[in-house]
Amino acid sequence: MAVLEVLAGLVLLAALLYYYATATFSHWSSRGVPHLPPDPLFGNIKDIVLFRDLHVYGYQKLYHRFDGLPYAGLYQMRTPSLMLRDPETIKQFLVKDFGHFHDRGIFCDVERDPMSATLVNLSGRHWRNLRNKLTPSFSAVKLKSMTPLLNECADALVALVGAGQEGREHQVEMREVMAKFTTDVIGTCAFGLHFNTLKDPDSQFREMGRRVFLPTYSRTAIHLLRVFFPGLLGVLRLRTVSREITDFFISLVRDVIGFRERNGEVRNDFMQLLMQLRQQEQLDKSDKDSKEDAVVLDDRLLTAQVFIFFVAGFETSSSTMSFCVYELAINEEVQELARQEVDAILSELDDGQPITYEHVAKMTYIEKVLLETMRKYPPVPGLVRVCTKPYTLPGTKVHMKVGDQVFIPTFAIQRDPNIFPEPDRFDPERFSEDGRKSWHPFAYLPFGEGPRICIGLRFAMVEMKMGLARLLQHYKLLPAPGLPVPMRFDPKAFVLTAEGGINVRVVPRSAAAGSAS
């Protein structure tokens, strides 16, 4: 009898687990949306979850299963997601009907996991309120004022690449170099501090950046939970950012603010803007805004915004610049055209005169090179939005309720041969005036689009153009032995990361000219 009871209990438990694993799987069939048969618990992303497929390639395969359709239904584990494929449909969701899809639905808990409460993750009125407050810090005026700081970091980048080589050809791992460069830029422009990560290999600031993005399967698993099962993070008491990293940034921000307040120091950086916003909030306590609308910049929330400035700028800019160096190294004609533009623009400067914001703005070919890099290697390979008000896609019977998810496979769209012919070919002229006419603007989404487009887009472009221009001014870049063509990605990293680094041969232009003569 006892054995039968145990068996009955096991059968009941198995039935409950099966029900849990499949309960949502009638979602798309009941709405008449094309979809693939899902696997219990895993949905349509089993190979991605089990690391059989790199995430971008897994979604690319799913994307092409629905060629010719504007959208399709996916099951990302148990979560139904409407995958958007058509650029005009994407525009409908990100811009025209943004009021229904303004949230990303990402886990955010300012009390237990304070670094999660960033502008990227906040939702609703909290997001809009903070976005409006932070937008002025990325204006053209602010960028112009930061150009001298970027020049200093670019000088250090050039020196690091050639350090100890006395003008000889040598090999450099560019992924690490660019990580140090962007870390230095962020430390200077966000904190007003010179961390010297380009010179100091043991910099604690650089180490914290490395730990944030250290590619491991466990971090990728937590990221999947964060997107598809955000409630479980709270139940399991998991943190998206470790306590050590959180404490480091909170302590750093408090020290910087304390020093400036005690000494009356004012700097032209992101931290100063946040301090001014907090001071203004204290003066406006009598404001009639409701508590629901208000965003109070206490130490934790303020630190979270500095942290996302660091995270977004560090990973997206460093990866884009390293992938760009890779493409320049294996496409010498493109590299030479970029160098000719740099030489022509810098010839306008007197000896020793730093590059100005206006000179950076003239680097239109360098910009096309960077844009094409982000087409092939989008920093964010997929966008997620969550329905915040009941919605029906115009002209269809697709009804969405609050909490339903929308997924845009950026990587797959930007490598779709029907949109970008020969998608694996590196061609900056796709972004010329004529080239842009051949594809829909919403087929290109490395920074997102609509009201939630990346707030730091212009800062990132100026930073990257400055760094690349200075590299091309001084060096010729060639592939090192063993550099993989095509690129291989690290399967443990959730963002696109080169597996094994990006090793290039660096030839000082003085040496190249000497050998040519």
Nearest C-alpha neighbor of 483 from the set 505, 467, 464, 461: 505
**Helix, strand, coil tally for the chain in percent (to 5):** 55, 10, 35
Residue 123 Rama label (left phi>0; alpha psi -120 to 50; beta) = beta
Backbone dihedral angles phi then psi of residue 172, each to the nearest 5 degrees: -135, 140
DSSP 103: B
> What stretch of H or E contains 412?
helix 410-414
> What stretch of H or E contains 35?
none
| Cα–Cα distance measured from residue 506 to residue 477, given in angstroms and rounded to the nearest whole number | 5
> Tokens for 44?
């349509």
> What stretch of H or E contains 265?
none
Backbone dihedral angles phi then psi of residue 403, each to the nearest 5 degrees: 100, -15
User: How many beta carbons lie within 10 A of that of residue 16, not counting itself?
Assistant: 10
- Listed in sequence order, the residues at least 6 apart from 252 whose beta carbon sits closer than 8 Å to its beta carbon are 191
3-state class (DSSP) for residue 491:
coil
| Cα–Cα distance measured from residue 511 to residue 276, given in angstroms and rounded to the nearest whole number | 50
Q: Which residue has the tokens 């940034």?
A: 249
Provide the residue count of the chain. Answer: 517
| Cα–Cα distance measured from residue 256 to residue 242, given in angstroms and rounded to the nearest whole number | 22
Residue 454 is labelled as binding a ligand: yes
User: How many beta carbons lie within 10 A of that of residue 453, not counting itself?
Assistant: 12
| CA 36 to mean position of chain CA atoms | 29
DSSP 475: E
Residue type, 108: C
| Torsion over CA: 238, 316, 375, 116 (sign) | positive
| Cα–Cα distance measured from residue 504 to residue 239, given in angstroms and rounded to the nearest whole number | 37
Residue ranges at the known binding site for heme = 454
| Known binding-site residue numbers | 454
